[in-house]
């Protein structure tokens, strides 16, 4: 069983709801889970979990929410290589924007560059056809947790 940190980036709260639904699903599988609403670098580096779940919406023009941007920047600036890290990404977005799910894709690209291993596909959730994201994310989270 894994120690999992869930790192949330949200503007209007949808991604936080997704994370809050994910936590008990993963706990029920025997994992130890912590949700970080405004994650700091110390949450990432001191966690020692080696398993991260990024749950983020996209804002602006493909940008990360302000609460998640500092963690992204710190990982980019201070960590070069994270080969032991396993992770997943749930990216909330809206396909009417040019950079669909840009924040989740950027986070995924950074962790790929640093040698981390993504478990399962990057999950994108389009607000246009999925008004209740948990209906899509919760089954995905259950499948993801079983692969850890």
Ligand X SMILES: Cc1cc2nc3c(=O)[nH]c(=O)nc-3n(C[C@H](O)[C@H](O)[C@H](O)COP(=O)(O)O)c2cc1C
Q: Provide the 8-state DSSP code for 63.
A: B
Tell whether the torsion through CA atoms of 94, 88, 40 and 133 is positive or negative.
positive
Per CB under 6 A, 90 contacts ligand X: no
Q: Closest distance between ligand X and the C-beta of residue 116, in Å? A: 23
Chosen residue from 5, 67, 88, 93 binding ligand X by CB under 6 A: 93
What would the two tokens of residue 86 be? 């396993």
User: 37-66: which residues touch ligand X (CB under 6 A)?
Assistant: 57-62
Chosen residue from 1, 40, 84, 94 binding ligand X by CB under 6 A: 94
- CA-based nearest residue to 51, from 22, 13, 17: 22
Contact 55, 65 (CB under 8 A): no
C-alpha to C-alpha distance for 11 and 21, rounded to whole angstroms = 17
Q: Closest distance between ligand X and the C-beta of residue 80, in Å? A: 28
Chosen residue from 47, 100, 134, 142 binding ligand X by CB under 6 A: 100
| Interacting residues toward ligand X by CB under 6 A | 10-15, 57-62, 92-94, 97, 99-102, 127
């Amino acid at each position: 069983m894994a120690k999992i940190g869930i790192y949330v980036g949200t503007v209007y709260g949808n991604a936080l709801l997704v994370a809050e639904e994910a936590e008990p699903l993963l706990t029920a599988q025997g994992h130890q889970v912590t949700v970080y609403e405004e994650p700091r670098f110390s949450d990432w580096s001191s966690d020692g979990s080696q398993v991260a779940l990024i749950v983020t919406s996209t804002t602006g023009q493909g940008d990360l929410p302000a609460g998640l941007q500092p963690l992204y920047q710190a990982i980019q600036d201070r960590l070069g290589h994270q080969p032991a890290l396993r992770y997943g990404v749930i990216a909330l977005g809206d396909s009417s924007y040019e950079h669909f799910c840009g924040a989740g894709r950027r986070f995924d690209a950074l962790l790929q560059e640093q040698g981390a291993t993504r478990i399962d596909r990057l999950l994108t959730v389009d607000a246009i056809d999925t008004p209740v994201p948990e209906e899509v994310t919760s089954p995905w989270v259950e499948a993801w947790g079983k692969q850890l």
